[in-house]
Structure 1
Amino acid sequence: MESMKTILAIDDNRDILYTLEQIFNFQGWRPLLAAGYEEAEKYIKKEKIDLILVDYHMPGVDGISAVKEIRKKLPKVPIIVLTIEEEEHIVSRFMNAGANDYSLKPIKAVDLISRIKVHLQYHEKSQYYESYDKGISKVTLQKIEDQMKGITEFLDIDMLEDITQIKKKTLYRYLQYLVKEGRVEQQYSYGDMGRPRTLYRWI
């Protein structure tokens, strides 16, 4: 049986925390709620957290600073920033601080659930494959590079499996290695039906 995922939400607005709590409970996730980063620290120190939501505009420690502090303590846990801001330079600040994604306010449950699910899935798979880096073959890497270099658009793993003729499980491991090495760019696509996809493109 799959273990219950624990999600920490940090937001100074109690109404938003209540909304997030209801969403998490509906999805079968265990909610941890904090009205600011200082309050969240007790959870960060003691709890096994699978994903963190952080509000951008908070008094005291703001969202950017909170993300930086969280990253020092939890370098691999997915972080999604909640914000009303859409400007590219602000989004870049989130990502440079260590966030994995952002979701716009007012909260749209379907979109937020999709984003959380894709990051939970990615994090779980990354942990599973993390120990496999030593088994990376240069020949297979070269084959993937040769097949992907001429493609300019983002493709999902099913398309890349057809192109490279490498089995999905093996291909995923190599793609994660290449993302970590900065040779492949990764982004997420969220469909209308709430079915998130991970897309890849050679840099």
Structure 2
Amino acid sequence: MKILVVEDNKSVCSMIEMFFAKEGIQGEFVNDGIEGYNRYKEETWDALIVDWMLPGMDGVTICRKIREEKNSVPIIMLTAKDSESDQVLGLEMGADDYVTKPFSPLALMARIKAVTRRVQNLQTNEVVEKGVIQSEHFKINKNTREVLLDGLPITNLTPKEFDLLFYFVQHPKQVFSREQLLERVWGYQFYGDERTVDVHIKRLRKKVETAQQPFFHTIWGVGYKFDETIKADEV
């Protein structure tokens, strides 16, 4: 997960950064509103954490401008303002959640997981309604549970292997930890050995990869990603 934090209080940034490290989240910290808004436009982010009061451009304006661009990236507003009217204003400008200072880092992490999970569920529901996703090599029908690899059917996948492949193809080039995959593919309430993920990845590799064309790539110390653009001689 990659999160942009726009916050001018350096001690708050240091605290958030410490908890990001524990959760395996890649965080980038910007202390100015204009710089933060420009940085948001330069890359794709899994979520934004934006302070209300910022030099250059305030957080409410950042939030409003992002929503005017029809971008649905999850936004959590940080602020010392705790009145109901302030909360309503922040939410009306497009914030997904509102955290009042001082706050518990654990509570902030819970909010981050909640808003990102909500957006992912919406995206997943849209895909399921359409029923089919397609990439350079794969065409997968969620409703009929059919998989085509370069036009040829793959019929020997187990149900969980299918679910895992579908999730990866749905999120190309994104790196997921084993814990994230257990949560999102096996289910949020699944508690099990993270090596389960390794076993399923190994089986998928045998069933869909060739020596010339790998699809699943191990990111050492983090987890896995699905990337069709990397060839065997580039690994």
TM-score, normalization: structure 1?
0.60
**Per-residue CA distance 1:90-148 (angstroms, 9 max, x = gap):** 1010011010111111131111111111111111111111245579xxxxxxxxxxxxx
SS of the residue 2:57 aligns to = coil
Compare 37-46 and 23-32 and name the one that shifted more. 37-46
**Matching residue of 1:97:** 93
Matches within 5 A, 1:22-101: 22-73=18-69, 75-101=71-97
User: Partners in 1 of 2:114 and 2:18 — Cα distance?
Assistant: 19
Alpha-carbon RMSD across the aligned residues, in angstroms, is: 2.0
SS of the residue 1:106 aligns to = coil
| Paired AA for residue 114 in structure 1 | A
Deviation at 1:70, TM superposition (A): 2.2
Compare 76-85 and 41-50 and name the one that shifted more. 41-50
Aligned residues: 132
User: Partners in 1 of 2:60 and 2:38 — Cα distance?
Assistant: 19
- Decide whether aligned partners of structure 1 residues 89 and 120 sit closer, same or farther in structure 2, where only a CA change above 3 A counts: same
- Decide whether aligned partners of structure 1 residues 41 and 86 sit closer, same or farther in structure 2, where only a CA change above 3 A counts: closer
Task: Tell me, yes or no, if the aligned pair for 1:32 and 1:43 is still in contact at 8 Å.
Answer: no
User: Partners in 1 of 2:8 and 2:19 — Cα distance?
Assistant: 17
**Matching residue of 1:114:** 110
Task: Tell me, yes or no, if the aligned pair for 2:50 and 2:76 is still in contact at 8 Å.
Answer: yes
SS of the residue 1:33 aligns to = strand
TM-score, normalization: structure 2?
0.52
Rg (Cα) greater in structure = 2
Tell me, which stretches of 5 or more residues in structure 2 are unaligned?
132-187, 189-235
Deviation at 1:85, TM superposition (A): 1.7
Tell me, which stretches of 5 or more residues in structure 1 are unaligned?
136-194, 196-203
Higher relative contact order (CA 8 A, sep 6+): 1
